[in-house]
Structure 1
């Protein structure tokens, strides 16, 4: 553990360049919104940050876009709880989803890294969770070759998939595992969300309503509320349902620590009959066993940061080496595609160990 802290302390000295010159005039996010998303606890210097998705060519401010999505889900939840129908619901969510989809299509990985980072305020996870599920779902769907029109529908579905959950916030925010009666109540939220959308979501495509109701259905028929199975579950609900589980397990909850990505993939594979196998494959290929931004130790004893997944070889991502085998910091990171160098491989995931010891 002391070695992990030493590595963390060394890397923390470097500051990521979050605001590029072309973003200087943009409005900064409200403090309460910015705090909902916690940056990875290990900072990486600017050259690595660029590899992780600071894509100047696409002129995308990922932080501002993430915070915009947080604002949207707050407003949606408020409308849902109060049953307010003021304004056009579709027009409220469409611009944000279009920007998220276009940013991910353009190759921005910073949004993905935000969605894989843990929450900083547990009391606010109900807002950050659907934003993360939306981003990850869009990222997976791009790997499924969804056209832009379907990405937009999926993105809206994913962002509002838990619109019924605020009605059960007092139950799920307890700092303990729910008892059977409480869990039975919470399992009502997909139908509650479907009912709420009938009032506040006029004009949405029928498949969006159904995705909200079906995202807890499972391929083997073990889900709820309708006990649907296999192709009875619409494709959007299949994607969102898988991502919902992945996001929830890789993030902290009031009653437990977060799990690392390897633990979560292992658990999903253990229950693989609950999900569409082709979507599990895409999840592993797109996110990888070692997610973007995670810290790993190579067999050469060098310390590296994962900067890109290799879809065909998820155990061999592209990494930037930031410390040599003696623990000396590199002023300029050394990029290695592990898929192209069989002699070098990841020996252990330091980020996983840090998660376990948090």
Structure 2
């Protein structure tokens, strides 16, 4: 089980506290082993000569932490779901939960935009409502695991950085929740996932949005964003060590080929391993300034064939959670018809399909839902990136969720 730690100035230490981590590697101090139990003022004085901040052990946070009263950040719109709706775990139909999931998504998007603007302006980043949003996501997944996943298919190249952070959080929460991970730990992971790319706000815009492949020197700048993120969050937030590790380690790879630390295997935080999978999946299924999106099915195949980049057990669970044809995937049949995968019976081998284009690629009015299990002659010939043939999932999400 992950430990929970609170960051405090070394001057606030008291006898009886246990220091779990420092603001620098232990090897840079005169402590031979990691971790120190503060027994006296002399221990505090010894530490204060070497570090400025420490991380002390703290108990797990409860599922619902009341947020302190403060002004809403600029750009944040609290569209407010009723508390009973936000936290209810009672099962909901897909169409009913879409309305809730849409509001959660819009709140998360506004929040990410706001903190990114703060970071870009050089202001301290206050993680504020991140935990509240993550709790709402967890409840949504418990009610119906498909609704939030549906919305991760909504892409916008001009808003890639904000939408990507939000999608990675939703996918990570969906995976960890359906795996039955402890709720307090899923919260910490979700907060880290929502903030995982905040360090990119310190990367020059001409590099971050360059409409071509980066040079080696430019990529070296990009590779610093995990450390930038931790620096920003340590200045103005009270994130746990576990959340900060996700920000720092989401580009590490199991085979040691990642960055910034070149960590291997279990050296990487368990929850950072989950976020790494969601991060790559969402990036590759999105249009970016230098790369067109790939279909979900193609991306899953590419990730499965990667040479040890990801935890294989977690990757298998991720593929199983989303399915061979994730909800919201755009697919084409051997008949030439095109449509979206919609939720059906999990025990069925083939998905339900909302058919939106006929064999001539003309729109169906009204659209029809087809159970491919009942039509064995209809075969899926390929998955398509959102936007193919002019079909955008956002148009249909709006109709379904009201």
TM-score range, shorter chain: 0.7 to 0.9
Structure 1 SS opposite 2:325: coil
CA distance, structure 1, for counterparts of residue 132 and residue 232 of structure 2: 22
Consecutive unaligned residues of structure 2, counting only runs of 5 or more, are 1-74, 78-91, 392-402
After TM superposition, list the pairs within 5 Å mapping 1:257-336 onto structure 2: 257-298=292-333, 304-308=339-343, 316-320=350-354, 329=364, 333-336=368-371
Once the two structures are TM-superposed, the CA of residue 136 in structure 1 deviates from its matched residue by 1.0
What is the distance in 2 between the residues matched to 1:114 and 1:128?
Answer: 10
Question: Residue 143 in 1 paired to residue 178 in 2?
Answer: yes
Q: Where do residues 31-180 of structure 1 align in structure 2 (5 Å cutoff)?
A: 53-55=94-96, 60-82=99-121, 84-85=123-124, 89=126, 91-107=128-144, 109-119=146-156, 122-170=157-205, 171-180=207-216
- 1:211, 1:237 within 8 Å by CA — same for their partners in 2? yes
Q: Which residue of 1 aligns with 2:290?
A: 255
Q: Which has the larger radius of gyration?
A: 2
CA gap 1:156/1:309 in 2 versus in 1, 3 angstroms? farther
Query: What SS does the aligned partner of 1:274 have?
Result: coil
Looking at structure 2, the residues matched to 329 and 123 of structure 1 have their Cα atoms a distance apart, in angstroms, of 29
Deviations 1:119-162 (A, max 9, x none): 1xx33211111011111111111232123222211111110000
Q: Which residue of 1 aligns with 2:221?
A: 185
Measured in 2, the distance between the counterparts of 1:207 and 1:234 equals: 8
Q: For 1:195-214, what aligned pairs fall within 5 Å after superposition?
A: 195-202=231-238, 204-214=239-249
* 1:351 equivalent in alignment to 2:384: yes
TM-score normalised to structure 2 length: 0.66
1:288/1:311 contact within 8 Å kept: no
More displaced, 225-234 or 304-313?
304-313
Which position in structure 2 is the counterpart of 1:7? none
Q: TM-score, normalised by structure 1?
A: 0.73
Deviation at 1:209, TM superposition (A): 0.7
Q: CA RMSD in A?
A: 3.3
Q: Is the 8 A contact 2:98 2:148 kept in 1?
A: no
Answer whether contact 1:190 1:214 (CA < 8 A) is retained: yes
Deviates more, 1:90-99 or 1:175-184: 90-99
Contact 2:285/2:385 (<8 A) preserved: no
Report the Cα offset of residue 296 of structure 1. Answer: 2.9
- Structure 1 CA distance, aligned partners of 2:257 and 2:284? 19
d(CA) in 1 for partners of 2:255 and 2:346? 27
Q: Deviations over 1:229-264 (max 9, x none)?
A: 111111111011111111111000111211112221
Deviations 1:49-85 (CA, angstroms, capped at 9, x unpaired): xx99321xx5943332212111111222233344544
Q: Deviations over 1:257-294 (max 9, x none)?
A: 11112221222122141100011112211223322123
CA contact (8 A) 2:287 2:293 kept: yes
Partner of 2:57: none
More displaced 10-residue stretch of structure 1: 138-147 or 321-330: 321-330
Partner of 1:27: none
Does residue 194 of the first structure (1) align with residue 230 of the second (2)? yes
Whole-angstrom CA distance in 2 between matches of 1:324 and 1:90: 47
CA 1:311/1:229 → structure 2, altered by over 3 Å: closer, same or farther?
farther
